Chains A and B, each alone.
Chain A
Amino acid sequence: MNYPFVMLVFVTITSAVMVVSHRNIIHAAVFLGLSFVGVAGMYLLLNAPFLAGAQVLIYVGAITVLILFSLMLTSQRIMREPRNALAYRLLSGAVAGVLFLMLVWTAWQPVWAVKPEVALETQNQVYLSQLADGLLGAYLLPFEIASVLLLVALVGAIVLAKEEREA
């Protein structure tokens, strides 16, 4: 019984549920950030400290803020959004539920090639230097493409969000 794990799970899942169900959208955005944090904690448990940090930085720090800003910019007088029809929600829940069940079933298959010695080890971390070597070594191409992607996204977002101005 790994208490940290359980707590993190609780936080994450609960926050996620609040994200999708809370009527107040701002609250939902905050809960989103909280769930990001929970996920970051789980990264730590999984020997990925850098990623945990990156997660917090980017997700919580940038994306959540971005979301909040855009919520501000697109604010409506009523921040509470109306519910969908019950039937629709049930249907969506059903779809999601079924999907969950199937994934769970899959997850519990004993086919995953888990190396037993690794499963028990807790000390093996992936160091930042290793990551850096990898990023600029074996995975250089994706790295570069990702940077291009960021550039494109940047440009695109600016263009899209730009106000029409009389030239």
Chain B
Amino acid sequence: MPLPGLSSFLVVAAGLFCVGVYGVLTRRNAVAILMGIELMLNAANLNLIAFARFTDPALMAGQVFSIFVITVAAAEAAVGLAIVICVYRNIQNINVDDINLLRW
């Protein structure tokens, strides 16, 4: 079975990314927003791997990059969730609509 072309993977990654965008924009729960962010990161990773596979497998730059992305995503998720917990402690609530002290 032929592997789908690069474009397919890119499209998938794009779709994943945009779903993640939609989630970030729409969800009220702070953690849900972080989930959306994770999706976006995943999409980026997928892009990287696809390119690495189709353009130059010998050069593993794409995959190495992906490892680092995963690393950063993990760190960021951890810190982000720690912040969410802090916020929860303060307002008993992680609805981002209520975190609006810097409004007009």
Contacts and interface: CB of A to CB of B under 8 A. Distances in A.
Contacts, number: 248
A71 B32 CA distance: 9
B46 A39 contact: yes
Contacts of A82: 28
B3 A122 contact: yes
Majority secondary structure of chain A interface residues (helix, strand, loop or mixed)? helix
Contacts of B31: 25, 29, 67, 70-71, 74
10 contacts: A19-B39, A48-B52, A54-B67, A59-B38, A76-B92, A84-B28, A114-B54, A153-B75, A157-B81, A157-B82
A88 B60 contact: no
B69 to A, nearest CB: 10
Contact of B54 (A21, A71, A112): A112
Interface of chain B, helix or strand or loop or mixed? Answer: helix
Interface of A: 1-5, 9, 12-13, 16-17, 19-21, 25, 28-29, 32, 35-36, 39, 42-43, 45-48, 50-51, 54-55, 58-59, 62-63, 66-67, 69-71, 73-74, 76, 81-82, 84, 88-89, 92-93, 95-97, 99-100, 103-104, 106-108, 112-115, 118-120, 122, 124, 126, 130-131, 134-135, 139, 142-143, 146, 149-150, 152-154, 156-158, 160-161, 163
